Amino acid sequence: MINVEANADEPFGDTIGAYYDLKLNSPSNAPARIRQLSRAVFGREPDEAIRKLRYQLLHAAAATLIETAASGAQLGLFLVHEFWSQHLNENKLAQNRTDWGNFAHSFPELASARFEDNRIIGPISIAGGGHVPRSIPLYLGNVLTRLRP
């Protein structure tokens, strides 16, 4: 199963901490969902390191595994497809790269991994829980497409 998150210079959503805090005193179930996703993917409550990550990446990694299990596939690939052009904001593009790297490095197996464009890495171990299966290998990857003017 391949789950593709395509983006250009828009962010991968709020940081987990900012989104959690925003929804904490509202009728939203987002804080409970964030805690559940954090435990399922990382095996722990959202600590300071997890709070700095982007919510969209956490959600998409969990969704990849849920869909992989539902489809009966053997493994899951969460792929970020980046589009770059001279008309996009270079600072935002760089921030997205940093956010993606921080997310991937948050897994012990990838803590010292070197990321290159158009590469798949993994598998990584997931704690599992709720609808997020533990037994399915998860790979992370990125594809970079440079758009011509």
Span 78-92, average pLDDT: 92
Q: Flag whether pLDDT at 100 surpasses 90.
A: yes
pLDDT at 96: 93
Q: Flag whether pLDDT at 51 surpasses 90.
A: yes
Instruction: Provide the percentage of residues in the chain whose pLDDT is more than 90.
Output: 85
3-class secondary structure per residue, 86-143: CCCCHHHHHHHHHHHHHHHHCCHHHCCCCCCCCEEEEEECCCCECCECCCCCEEEEEE
Task: State how far the Cα of 69 lies from the Cα of 124, in Å rounded to an integer.
Answer: 16
- 68-77 tens-digit pLDDT: 999 999 999 9
Q: Flag whether pLDDT at 148 surpasses 90.
A: no
Span 92-115, average pLDDT: 91
**Could you count the other beta carbons within 10 Å of the beta carbon of residue 112?**
7
Task: State how far the Cα of 49 lies from the Cα of 92, in Å rounded to an integer.
Answer: 21
- Classified as helix, coil or strand, 71 is helix
Across the chain, mean pLDDT equals: 94
pLDDT at 117: 84
